[in-house]
Structures are given as structure tokens and as C-alpha cells.
A and B are shown apart, each in its own frame.
Chain A
Amino acid sequence: MIDAFLLIGLPYVAIAVCIFGTIYRLRAEKFTQSALSSQFLESNQLVWGSLPWHIGIGLIILAHLLALIFPGTWSGLMQNRTILYTTEGVGIALAVLAVAGLVVLIIRRITSARIQAVTSVMDLVILTLLLVQVGLGLATAAIYRWGAMWATAAATPYVWSLLTFQPDASYVSGLPLVIRGHIIGAWLIILLIPFSRLIHMFALPLDYLFRPPQKVVWINPRHQESAVELVEREAARRYFLKGAVGVAAGGTLLTVGAADKVFRFFFGPRLSEREEAKLMAIRVKRLEKTVEHKKYELERQQNDYIFVAKLSELEPRKGRYFIDYAMKPALAFKDTDGMPLLISAKCTHLGCTVGADCNAEGKILCPCHVSYFDIHTGKPNPDSPAKAPLPHIGWVLMDQDGKLVASKHADGSLTGRADPEKADTYSVFIAKYHERVEES
């Protein structure tokens, strides 16, 4: 019952009183709809109270109104985590700013004798009510997190139900006490608008922000010069303020954006188990490849002979890659006499790896700078950028039992004799002692 009154009855009373009371006051008591400025009485503390308070509370009310009028757009924006965090962060900061300003205003009002003289009871009531209201709002933000998100599902439909005369308190009646307190506080403040200086809200001098600066100065010869200076200084101040606001806004956006990116970058991805496994599989594969490469290296350091291929596997036109003792790429072909033909595949121009396929003229191509090499002589085409021939590599033939059958040095000298009948059973090796001969 009491809930129904506070959440449905009170709002209607408050809105009605606010509307009719304001209209009455505007017509009956003209010239009272101001904030009853006390700037003439005390201005030093006022700056530190009034400015923070009005900036803070103004922007917060604006955010409340936006969530109320455009709930769809608002909640859509809040789906983005960054925007949500920013909104909540900025909101809390503004609320703290407003509270700080309000505290200064309260202290000023109760300690300054000159202000005391013009202070009414209603002023004190309003100040207390505002403090409680902002305090409840801050408490809501702190205890029941992400209000920017859930409010569009609770407070917005509630207010709309009131405005469309289909009051439905169930949207908010289940909310915690703090939040209901905040809602009821809002209606109380609206209720008191026509009876207090809060009515100045409807006389918001927004054009002050855009009109050219004005300054009241004495017009007499003594003040003439200082008047010009004053106006100039005022204009410069405005110019500076506008620029500062622009730079501050841009800077804030940039900082928030950059901080967001950098933070998320450092936070790193939180991958699912499946993604982790997939990544790990790739890494293991690459590691295996590295291990394979290192094994080749070790093999060449330890073994006197390295297996290249079975003789029967070699082809005259399509080379097989293998790694020679210097860990450089080389190609194995079958020569016209049926014997192996081993040639370095490291281009003598700039060290690219030469391709494995012979063209129609029996030449292999280095793709980097288009050098063709004859595999029999090793010599490059005369117009190739490579000038030196690809060196041939010595080989060794062994039979099935690992017995050395024939061996050919890089210089072309052949020892032993291979039996063409048994060619299919032979295997091709490169030998460490060939390498040594070459080096010496």
C-alpha cells in the first residue's frame, strides 16, 4: 500500500504540483524564478561549489534523460563493454564532483554570515535532499553495479508507464531499498521545485554559452582604457576555454581508446581449450620441423656417409632435394649413363635455392633473378646474372649390404665400377671425405 503510494501516487502528485505550481509561480510571482544568486555576497567559495556541482549534476541528469528517452539506443551502446565501463566511470566521477561541490555549497551556506542572512529553511531542506539523492545514486552505482545497463530494463519502463497513464510499479517495486529511495527522492525533488529556488532549472541561461562575452563596466574617461582591456581579456579567456574543452575532450577520448586497446593487448587472449590445442598442434609441428633440421645437421657432423636416395628413385629431369655436408640445398638427378648426378642448388649469384625441374634444354632455373643452369656442366646461361657454375657434388654408390660399389669425386674422377644389372639395388650417398677434398 505504502509502496503503491510512493511509487505511483507520489509521482503523479509531484508532477502535477510541479507543473501547476511552476505555472502559478511564474504568473503570480514574476521575477522570482531565478536561482537567487548570492554571488555578490560571497564569490570565492561559490566558484568551488557551484561549478563542480552544476557540471556534475547537469551531465548526470542528461545521461538519465538519454536513457529514459532513447532506451533502445542507450542499451545498445551499453552492450559494448568499453562504452559501459567508460559511462560508469565517468558517471561516478561526475557524481563525486557533484557531491564535492554540494558539500562546499552547504558549508558556505551555513558558515558565511552574509549568506546566512538570506538563507531560508527551504534552502536547507533542498540542500539536504540533494545530498541524500546524489548519495543514494552513488551508493546504487557502487553496490548494484552496471546501472547504466539494467536501468533501461527497470527505471525506464516504470517512468514510461507513468507518463502513458498505465502506471506499473512492479518494474521497480522489487528493487533494493537504496534504489527505491533514489527513485522516491527524485519525485520529492520534483515536488519541491515550485516552492524553492530549484525553479531556476526552467530558466537555464543556455545562450550564455554561445553569446559574445559581455562585461559591465563603468563608462567614463578614467575606465575607458581598462574597459577595452577587460573585454579583450574576456574574449581571450573564452577562446582559451573553448580550445581547452576541445583538447580535453579529444585527449580524454584518445586516452580512453588507447588505454582500452593497450590494456586488452596486455590482457591477452583467453582462448578456449580447443583453440589452445589447435595452436599447440601448429607449434609442435613447427618444432618438429626444427628438430628435423637440427637432426640433419647432427647427422652431417657425425656420419661419414649421408643417404640421398635409392638410385632407382632418381629421375633425369626432375631433381630430388637433399642437404649437403655444408647444410646447403642440393639436387640429385639421374645422369644419361644411369649414374647419379649431384649438383649444388645454391645459386652462385645471391644464394637462392634453385628450382628442381629441368626445362626442355635440361636446365634448372633460379627463380630469384632468372639464371638458368645446365645440370651437366653446371654452367649458367651467358645472359644470366649468375656467372659462376653450380658445383657438382661427389657421390658414393653402395649396394644392399652397405658395401661401397663406386665413388665419384666432385672433379669427375671415378673409382670402382657399378654393375648396371644391379643398378636398382644401389643407394646413393654423399661422403664426408669428398667434402674434405673439396675444401683442401
Chain B
Amino acid sequence: MKPGTALRSVTDFLAGRFPVDKLDFHSMVEKKEVPLHKMSWGYYTGGLTLFFFLVQVVTGLLLLFYYQPTVSDAHASVEYITQHVACGALIRNMHAWSSSCMIFFVIVHLLVTFAMKAFEKPREITWIAGVMLLFLTFTFGFTGYLLPWNQIAVNATKVGLQSVEYAGAYLPGTLSELPRILRETFQGEASVGQSTLGRFYALHVVILPLCFVAVLGLHLLQVQLHGMSQGIDTPSPTSERFFPIFFSKDLEVWSVAFLILFVLALCLPFESFLPFPLLEPYDPLGATPAGIKPEWYFYFVYYPLELLPFWVIMLGSAVVAAGLFLTPWIFKGTSRKTLAFIAVAATLYLVVMTLFGEQIYHLVKG
């Protein structure tokens, strides 16, 4: 391919993805229609993810007022928030519940849009930005988990970071050093300590949110530019206007979600699922307590990691990650029926691993 034609195809691609002539209020808001069919509920999953992200931003900002990111004070400041600050327990609990909800819906959103083939031309950039948001969300979860600086958090983070280094053994030559360097960069010192906490804090409250908002902006711009994907094979004859009909329905769903989240956060402490001693402040000189596990949303990779050789997981993760980014091209010609089948299979895997991972682990290990 000549350099000229290559450049030509790049500009053509971008012109198709960023139709500047549609960049106005009229076509992005007034003219936009949302198709009505039996999969229409899928159109609400993205909005719900966004809603829980907004809750995270607000409650997170509130928590910032009292949280202190030092190894001696972090746990005490979290305790202070939950026990002394008015509504502190509620706000922290909302932050915890909402984070789980956000992760849940980002995964549902991914599966549904996959099954609906919403990544088809010209929506490749929407999809890729979405996958980036997915990874950012997981990173949010991983970095935020450490901040309360309790036994389970620090030890689980240690294990998580150590697994990164483990990957080095499978890489050739100089590359094998890369995971170790990466781990040390994020860890900041020989073992998980003050430097790690500072770095995770900066990531969690400044760097990741900035990245997230930027990618989210791109994602939403693309969604509005190209409109809703049809989602089914025979285009639906009926549709509703995006504004104000779909928009107000979206708000309605949000308000129900808020009500549920609020009641949940009010009544059920997120940590009630954990054995108590794990919430004690981290003791760098003590033994690792039993029962160290990551958050539930990492079970789908954690339990296989426990059961299978490391290289299998590494290879699998790499394939899945690459597959996610390249989905718009890999599944270009795949029918919606097949896509739905894959999505259902993935859902089954995620649900079974998350709910029964521990039982499976004990079953296999005896």
C-alpha cells in the first residue's frame, strides 16, 4: 500500500467515525431515535453504569474530606468516617455498594452490546472506548480496595501485585524483567507500604478519574453522533424520541436505582460479608490471615488462577483482552445469533465462577 493511500484510508476511517456535519444539537439530541424492541432494555445498561459512576464521584469527593492516605492514619480515618462523622457510614457504604453496582453494570453493558452487535461499523470507536472504560473501572476497584489499609486490603493487594511479577517467568529475554519493574513502579518500595498507598491514592482519586472522564466523553460523543445501534436483525418499525422520552425514562430508571442503592447502603454494610478480623488495621509484622480474597468481581480470574497453571490464565487473559479490543473486526461477519450465544456462555461462566468459585476450588483441591 502506498503511503498516500494508507493516509487516505486513515482519514476516511476518521471521517466515518467523526461525521462533523452531525456535530450539532439538532442531530445529536433532537433527531435521535431509540428503537423499540424486545432487547430495548439493553439501552438502559450504559446509562445505569454512568449513574453509578456519578454516585462514585459524589460520594468519593465527600470521603476525600476525611480520608488520610498514610499507613498510620488511613485505617483510623476510615474508622472515623464510619463511626463518628454524621452520615459517614452511609456515604462510605454507598461508595462501596455503588462501586460493585458500577462493575456489575459495566459487565452487563458489555455483554448486551456484544450480543446486540452494537460494535458494528461505524461504532468501532464507541466499542474500544467502552472496553477501555471497562479496564479503567476494574483498576478503580483494585486501587480503591487498598485505601482502607486493613488486613484483607493490603494482603490482597500484595498478592495481586505479586501475580503481575509472576508473569515475568513466561516472557523472553529482557522482557521478563518488565513485570517486575512494573510491579516495583506501582509498589514504590520493597513491600506494599506508604509509597504504594500514596501511589494508589493518586491513581484512584486523580489519575483514573481524569482518564475515565476523557474516555467517557469520547464514548458518549460517539454514541450521540451515531445514534443507537439497531440491536436486532430486522430493524424495528417503532422507535421513541431520545429527547425527552427516552431521556426521562432513563432518569426514571436512575431514580429507582438511587432508591435501591440508598436503602441498601442504609441497611446493609457492604463489609458484612467479610469475616471480621480481616478488617483490622494491617500489621506489617504479622502473618497473613487466612481467607485473603480479592473483591467478588475478580473471582472470575482469581479462582481459575488458583486452580490452573499460571501460564494458562496469562494466555487466556491476553487472548480475551486482545479479543475485546479487536471485537469490531473479529466479529464483523458473525451473526447476532452466534454473538448472543457467546454472550450467554460468557455470562454463565462469570456467574458460576463468581457464585460457586469457592466450592469449585474446594471440590477440585479436595
Contacts and interface: CB of A to CB of B under 8 A. Distances in A.
A181 interface: no
A98 B197 CA distance: 57
A174 B287 CA distance: 72
Contact of B285 (A267, A329, A350): A329
A218 interface: no
Interface string B286-304: 1111111000000000000
Nearest to A283: B76
B289 to A, nearest CB: 7
Given A293-B284, A327-B190, A352-B155, A385 B306 contact: yes
A287 B71 CA distance: 9
* Highest count of chain A CB atoms <10 Å: which of B66, B85, B287: B287
B287 A290 contact: no
B55 to A, nearest CB: 12
B37 to A, nearest CB: 27
Contacts of A265: 62, 65, 85-88, 91
Interface stretch (A14-22, A353-361, A422-430): A353-361
Given A261-B87, A293-B285, A368-B288, A350 B159 contact: yes
A262 B90 CA distance: 11
Given A265-B86, A367-B287, A352 B72 contact: no
Nearest to A351: B162
Interface string B62-103: 100110001111011001100011111011000000000000
A271 B289 contact: no
Contact of A286 (B76, B162, B286, B288): B76
A286 B150 CA distance: 12
A261 B90 contact: yes
A266 interface: yes
A308 to B, nearest CB: 13
B68 to A, nearest CB: 10
Contacts of B159: 350-352, 368
A321 B91 CA distance: 39
A46 B42 CA distance: 50
Interface residues of A, number: 40
A262 B62 contact: yes
A268 interface: yes
Interface string A322-336: 010011110000000
Contacts of A267: 86
Contacts of A350: 158-159, 162-163, 166
Contact of A268 (B85, B255, B290): B85
A216 interface: no
Contacts of A329: 285, 287
A269 interface: yes
A177 B72 CA distance: 60
B191 interface: yes
B76 A353 contact: no
Interface string B24-49: 00000000000000000000000000
A261 B91 CA distance: 9
A264 interface: yes
Contacts of A368: 155, 159, 288, 292
A237 interface: no
B179 interface: no
A328 B191 contact: yes
Interface string B251-289: 000010000000000000000000000000101111111
A369 B365 CA distance: 11
* Highest count of chain B CB atoms <10 Å: which of A265, A266, A329, A370: A265
A279 B87 CA distance: 18
A219 interface: no
Contacts of B190: 326-328
B162 to A, nearest CB: 4
Contacts of A385: 306
A261 B290 CA distance: 38
Interface in B114-172: 155, 158-159, 161-163, 166
B80 A279 contact: yes
Contacts of B158: 350-352
Given A265-B62, A282-B76, A287-B72, A352 B87 contact: no
B65 A266 contact: yes
Contact of A355 (B84, B88, B287): B287
A279 B84 CA distance: 10
Contacts of B255: 250
A271 B86 CA distance: 11
A368 B79 CA distance: 26
B292 A352 contact: yes
A271 B285 contact: no
Interface of A: 250, 261-262, 264-269, 271, 275, 279, 282-283, 286-287, 289-290, 293, 321, 323, 326-329, 345, 349-356, 366-370, 385
24 contacts: A250-B255, A261-B86, A265-B88, A266-B65, A268-B66, A279-B76, A279-B80, A283-B72, A286-B72, A286-B75, A286-B281, A287-B73, A289-B72, A290-B72, A345-B287, A351-B158, A351-B159, A351-B162, A353-B286, A354-B287, A355-B287, A367-B287, A368-B292, A385-B306
Given A265-B87, A289-B283, A351-B161, 13 more contacts: A261-B90, A264-B86, A265-B85, A265-B86, A269-B85, A279-B76, A286-B75, A286-B76, A290-B70, A293-B285, A350-B166, A352-B159, A366-B288
Leading 10 A-B pairs by shortest Cβ distance: A264-B86, A290-B72, A352-B288, A351-B162, A269-B84, A367-B290, A350-B162, A261-B87, A350-B159, A353-B288
